[in-house]
Amino acid sequence: MVRLSRIYTKTGDDGTTALGDGTRLPKHHLRIAAYGTVDETSSVIGLALTSGLEERFAAWLREVQNDLFDVGSDLCVPGEAGEKLRITPDYVARLEAHIDEVNESLEPLESFVLPGGSQQAAWLHLARTTCRRCERIVVALCEGDDEEGRVNGEVVRYLNRLSDLLFVLARAVNDGGKADILWKPGANKAPDADE
């Protein structure tokens, strides 16, 4: 169990932070940005949870917030150093089951969905886009020359499915997709002078 007896340590005052294996990295390193954005995603999900989601969705998202601490822990300890927490395919399978359950009752999509409709949907879309940013950072981290084999591929899959879950939940809280605001390509384009 984690025990935090002090909030500040002053060790990061030099612009570095410690990984779970004790290695110190600059705070702008992609690995730090990755698990920092995981934390940010969880915080936005926390905002979505304050918006009055139905209990089934709220319970799933509370599980996701716990998972995201697991994801952060996975990213915080590079490579295969001993007995540490790792994201496994079971995490992804649980998200896929939730996605399938929600998606089967949604209105078919005829265009891309603009974030909004209801306040709940807007928060879920913000969580989704934050999660997508996190996924991009983790993928960039995976491609670093010094990171080969040091990032768990299940983390990328988990973040990818999580953004999908947040998308279908946003549609679900928009009256099953009936209140989605759809993209209308070129709707505000000025007519050509020749027309």
Taking only the tens place, the pLDDT of each residue in 151-189 is 899 999 999 999 999 999 999 999 999 988 889 988 898
Query: Does the domain spanning 26-179 belong to CATH 1.10.150.120?
Result: no
User: What's the mean pLDDT in 93-103?
Assistant: 97
Q: Which residue has the higher pLDDT, 59 or 76?
A: 59
Contact 22, 94 (CB under 8 A): no
**Does this model's pTM top 0.75?**
yes
Q: Which residues partner with 16 through β-bridges?
A: 26
Mean pLDDT of the chain: 88
Structure confidence at residue 2 as a pLDDT band (50, 70, 90): low
Cα gap 124→171, rounded to integer Å: 9
Q: To 5 degrees, how large is the angle CA 67–CA 69–CA 73?
A: 115
